[in-house]
Amino acid sequence: MEEERSSTLETGKAERSVWLMKCPLVVSKSWQSHASDSHPVAKVVLSVDPLRPDDSSSLQFTMELAGTEFANTPKSYSLNMFKDFVPMCVFSETSQGKVAMEGKVEHKFDMKPHNENIEAYGKLCRERTNKCMIKTRQIQVIDNDHGVLMRPLPGMVGLVASGSKDKKKVTPVKGTDMKRTRRDRGELEDIMFKLFERQPNWTLKQLVQETDQPAQFLKEILNELCVYNKRGTNQGTYELKPEYKKSAEDVDAE
């Protein structure tokens, strides 16, 4: 029974004529502030040309607000009426879920400040624009100007300010992630020759561990001294170029 009641549409006011009006935001806010007030919020004045009483184009609508809470808000508006629009109906729904048809839209209006209020309305628009352009950022002086809390400590990541609500877990950085210092190029080449005397094939990871050098710097040396095996039993490893193997053997012989 409850589902049947909630799906019932009240149509007692379906044939009632309703006016649909597009109003400025400042007017909408003014009316919403008086939603619980029983007093009229505005009045509509209809002007008719007595010489053309049957001509709908001679009708002029003007709306005058009962009160304005905002400075420079125009009180008088011209209502531009439109009849050429898609047929529409107005519906309402209560907090209990009761849906009713309130009527059919007969006239559609656009509100425009009356000519005598154009200057005040223009001032209101400028004030609104200037307010939006105000920067909300503020410059504050930090008590601890040494910047210790803003500088990450060696070997630690995930540091946050002590006053932060969402504190991250502080984890130590792995040794492989620590910044390595480059050796002298000639010194590193001597170390590489000695390593390849120990064994003929090395992976890049093994050489980084043995030399404790940056991987990119190590690749530059390897590209000059070694050949990279892309296939075969030693795939993925480096070995000395033939000319360097010969020079290494000559040194051993001496």
CATH number for 185-244: choose from 1.50.10.150, 1.10.10.10, 1.10.10.60, 3.20.20.150. 1.10.10.10
Q: How far does the chain reach from its first CA to its final CA, in angstroms?
A: 106
CA distances from 105 to 19, 74, 80, 102, 248 (A): 6, 27, 15, 10, 97
Distance of CA 156 to the CA centre of its chain: 31
* Burial class for 195, CB neighbours closer than 10 Å (0-12, 13-18, 19+): middle
| 92: three-class secondary structure by DSSP | strand
What is the predicted pLDDT for the residue at 203? Answer: 92
How confident is the model over 8-30, as pLDDT tens digits?
Answer: 888 888 889 888 888 877 778 77
**d(C-alpha 247, C-alpha 203), whole Å:** 22
How confident is the model over 26-80, as pLDDT tens digits?
Answer: 778 777 777 777 778 888 888 887 887 777 667 788 888 876 666 667 777 888 8
**d(C-alpha 246, C-alpha 254), whole Å:** 13
What is the helix (H) or strand (E) element at residue 107, kind and residue range? strand 99-113
Per-residue pLDDT band at 237 (split at 50, 70, 90)? very high
**d(C-alpha 59, C-alpha 44), whole Å:** 12
What is the residue extent of each domain of the chain? 9-33+41-48+56-133, 185-244
Q: What is the percent of the chain with per-residue pLDDT over 70, rounded to a whole number? A: 72
Arithmetic mean of pLDDT over the chain:
76
Is residue 203 within 8 A of residue 236, CB to CB? The reply is yes
What is the predicted pLDDT for the residue at 238? Answer: 92
Give the pair of three-digit tokens for residue 218: 């190590």
Per-residue pLDDT band at 177 (split at 50, 70, 90)? very low
Q: Long-range contact list for 63-66, CB < 8 A, 24+ apart?
A: 63/111, 65/27, 65/30, 65/41, 66/39, 66/40, 66/41, 66/42
Tell me which of 161 and 206 has the higher pLDDT.
Answer: 206
Q: CB within 8 A of 218, min separation 6: which ones?
A: 204, 207, 208, 211
Is residue 103 within 8 A of residue 89, CB to CB? The reply is yes
- Range 155-168 average pLDDT: 51
Per-residue pLDDT band at 201 (split at 50, 70, 90)? very high
Tell me which of 124 and 8 has the higher pLDDT.
Answer: 8
Single out the residue of 13, 15, 18 nearest to residue 85, CA to CA: 18
pTM of the model: 0.36
